[in-house]
Amino acid sequence: MHKQGAIARYRRKMADKQRRRSSESAEVETGLSLHHIDKAHVNHTLFEPSKAVRVESHVSSMEEYRRLYDQSISDPALFWSSIAKQFYWKEPWNDATVHSYNFDRRNGKIFVEWFKGGKTNVCYNVLDHQIKAKGSGDRVAFYWVGNDPAHSRSITYSELLVDVCKFANVLKAQGVKKGDRVAIYMPMVIELVVAMLACARIGAVHSIVFGGFSADSLANRMIDAKSAVLVTADGVYRGSKLIHLKEIADQAVEKCKAKEFSVRRCIVLQSLKKEEVKGEASPAKRRHIGLPWNDSIDVWWADVMETASDECEPEWLDAEDPLFMLYTSGSTGKPKGVLHTNGGYFVYAATTFKYSFDHQPNDVFWCTADIGWITGHTYITYGPMANSATSILFEGVPTYPQCDRFWTICEEYKVTKFYTAPTAIRTLMKFSDESVTKHDLSSLKAIGTVGEPINPEAWHWYYNVVGGKRCSVPDTYWQTETGGHVITPLPGATPMKAGSATLPFFGIQPVLVDKNGIEIEGEAEGYLCLKKPWPGIMRTVYGDHDRFESTYFDLFKGYYFTGDGAFRDRDGYYWITGRADDVINVSGHRIGTAEVESALVEHPSVVEAAVVGRPHEVKTESMYCFVTLKQGAVFDETVIKELKLKVREKIGPFATPDVVQNAPALPKTRSGKIMRRILRKVAQNDRNMGDVSTLADSSVVEELFTNRID
Ligand code: WT7
């Protein structure tokens, strides 16, 4: 009796404690905060696919979509293996275990496997197999369009195969073996595709670093992946700006050396001044451009290719051997090397490309993303090539030499499927509609978007002005980690709503959970998780499986957590509301606020920094930084400049902060956690703070409002 009373008292005490805890915001408990959907944006008007798109499409009705979707969920092994069988497998996978997985940490190690035991080669599948089985040899794989409108070239599948085999042999000659990591830091040129496919052919793991990253970022990625071979180029013009890639690469090699990692070989493509190397130019002559050169490491691409054989037997790899890794930002200061494997990623890339863009044999497909991001990996190289597609590979930027560059190219090449980011759309809609409509864009059938939520206004402009009210708009929601689209309309089937990514792709089971990880049904807002694995999901964080488990599977047990919040409407359509973690999205670039903070605190005058996103008309979010300076340090223009420079140096120019504000003190909980929710309000000049009872010192907030910058 007595004892039971004690237990009851103890239970009450714990429950009280629990209540006190949960009265603090969800932010304090989980480190997450949901952005709420602006209900004014949720318009249920349906935009049906046009008849022209519907009649030729792979999936031409919602009934058909539902039938396939249900199959993919009720028997994923059958669904995905019948697709996988359309590709070339040197040896079949074990039919009894098409896939196996554990998504729940309570059951031990998290893992996902698809087609294990099957032997294949992705490079063979996108080249040799397409050429042999589908007769694609003479098809143009890529129309390359230079930054300078005077530059262009094209390459067929057969020609590409020759170059890929040669470069695969070059890599082998440099000692690159199966499983070795190769860093690639290149402009948007065909040789970038050659380099990645050459890696895939010999089983080397490519680690592509976007050309906008700084020497520090490149070095850190090479050290983390232990990439002893680097492939780069002399430089590239982006718009009118020249970027000296080789110089940045050289600095990165030095930085690696300082951290006791030596880069063995740097293969340098001469990409600049093409007209000067045409014709007779000898390799020696090509060296004229005055690049810094280190004879013990550097070799020219053209020199090593000259003597390489154009035959290269592919390495037959297990479906679960790694294909590539790609770094992406998360909640900590250190980017994660997201690792994808051969079989599952490839099958998923091929399938999502085919259905989300409703690929047809005569299509000219154009994804404007950089190959340095996952979008380029999946929807410039692997997805399109797995379907023998003809794509545009564009080196330049949307507004150079004029604001109608995209539309000029669409018209010239009769692009049928176009894929870009909301940021680009918002930038281009600022110019006159005439800059679009003066071009004949009647070839377009589907115009997709990716990277961030698209606001209804931009959606309508895209649909009406670019798409002439007849194109489908696949708003494709996905992530580096998912390998391919996970929520997207299908062009011939799904009625669209302006601003919604609509419904799940085959094999995807989205769920919304509350902060306790409980599934919420029906019309609701919550944390977006995915139940059950699909072939394209990442397999691990390179070199840190614990981090893979804790980042994606710890918070909500039994689910993969995307990091995003979402609203599901009465029709089951998903509306992504953006990242709920400490990741911000600036112009579709994913930036970890912790990475920026650690760059800022490297400045000798800074003791503490906190970075938040502030809604921005064009860029989705702009980066707003709060810094606390050391006693006696003066906050002035010089410090601001130095801080911005610091971030450019540490991460790259695309991550330059928009605003740096002086914060003599930051808002913290009693346990010392910075309350970012409050900082977001300050950045937005919104005094509607909600519950601030957990704030240790409320006078801090007033001071922040006084110092804020518009
Ligand atoms: C984050 C992933 C994979 C594409 C390029 C970015 C946001 C992506 C959408 C969309 C709303 C989107 C999410 C996601 N995102 N597509 N259609 N609607 N948000 O890849 O760098 O891995 O970033 O981009 O916040 O988590 P990433």
Residue 400 structure tokens: 């150079």
pLDDT of residue 40: 84
pTM: 0.93
Contact 223, 261 (CB under 8 A): yes
Question: In 10 A of CB 29, how many CB atoms?
Answer: 12
Residue 643 corresponds to which amino acid?
Answer: L
Ligand 1 centroid to Cα of residue 136, in Å, is 32
Atom of ligand 1 nearest to the CA of 477: 17
3-state helix, strand, coil in the chain (%, to 5): 35, 25, 40
Q: What is the spatial distance between Cα 80 and Cα 361, in angstroms, rounded to a whole number?
A: 22
- Ligand 1 pocket by C-beta < 6 Å: which residues? 328, 373-375, 450-453, 475-480, 501, 562-564, 576, 578-579, 585, 590
- Ligand 1 centre and the CA of 279: distance in Å? 44
Sign of CA pseudo-dihedral 247, 248, 249, 250: positive
Please tell me whether residue 565 adopts helix, strand or coil conformation: strand
- The pairing of beta strand 446-450 with beta strand 390-394: unpaired
Sequence-ordered alpha helix ranges (H) in 174-282: 190-202, 215-225, 245-258, 274-277
- pLDDT tens digit string along 33-45? 888 888 888 999 9
Which phi and psi (to 5°) does residue 625 adopt?
-110, 140
Q: So where are the chain's domains?
A: 582-707
Of residues 194, 132, 129, the one with CA closest to residue 159: 194
CA 380 centroid distance within chain: 13
Give dist(CA 335, CA 702) in Å, integer.
34
The minimum-distance atom of ligand 1 relative to the CA of 378 is: 3
According to the model, what pLDDT value does residue 646 have? 97
User: Of the residues 576, 577, 651, which should be mutated to test ligand 1's pocket, given the most ligand atoms within 8 Å of the CB?
Assistant: 576
Testing ligand 1's pocket by substitution, the residue of 368, 479, 552, 595 carrying the most ligand atoms inside 8 A of its CB is 479
Q: Structure tokens of 628?
A: 């606390």
Residue type, 118: G
What CATH number has the domain spanning 582-707?
A: 3.30.300.30
- The owner of tokens 């199959």 is 71
Q: To which residue do tokens 């519907």 refer?
A: 54
Nearest CA to ligand 1 atom 18: 453
Distance CA 639, CA 509 (A): 48
Count the Cβ atoms, other than its own, within 10 Å of residue 604.
9
Do the beta carbons of residue 507 and residue 80 sit within 8 Å?
yes
Contacts of 222 (CB under 8 A, 6+ apart): 183, 207, 230, 252, 256, 261, 263
Which regions of the chain are under pLDDT 50? 1, 19-25, 275-282, 284-285, 288
Q: From ligand 1's centre to the CA of 126, what distance in Å?
A: 26
Type of residue found at 298:
D
Which residue in the block uniquely carries the two structure tokens 């094209």?
154
For residue 3, how far is its CA from the centre of ligand 1 (angstroms)? 54
Tell me the three state secondary structure of residue 705.
helix
Give the DSSP letter string of 91-109.
B---GGGSEEEE--GGGSS
The amino acid at 706 = T
Q: How far apart are CA 706 and CA 683, in angstroms?
A: 11
Helices 637-650 and 215-225, packing angle to 10 deg: 30
Atom 24 of ligand 1, residue of closest alpha carbon: 451
Tell me the Cα Rg of the chain. 26
Continuous H helices in 75-179? 76-84, 122-126, 128-134, 157-173
Distance 584 CA to ligand 1 centre (A): 11
Q: What residue owns the CA closest to ligand 1's atom 21? A: 590
Question: What single-letter amino acid sits at 189?
Answer: V
> Which of 452, 454, 567 is the pocket-test mutation for ligand 1 (most atoms within 8 Å of CB)?
452
| Nearest ligand 1 atom, CA 588 | 6
For 410, list phi and psi in degrees, rounded to 5.
-55, -40
Nearest residue (by CA) to ligand 1, atom 8, is 451
CA–centroid distance, residue 481 to ligand 1 (Å): 10
Q: Which strand (E) or helix (H) includes residue 336? A: strand 336-341
- Indicate which residue's Cα is closest to atom 20 of ligand 1: 479
264, two tokens: 């063995």
If DSSP codes are grouped into helix, strand and coil, which group holds residue 513? strand
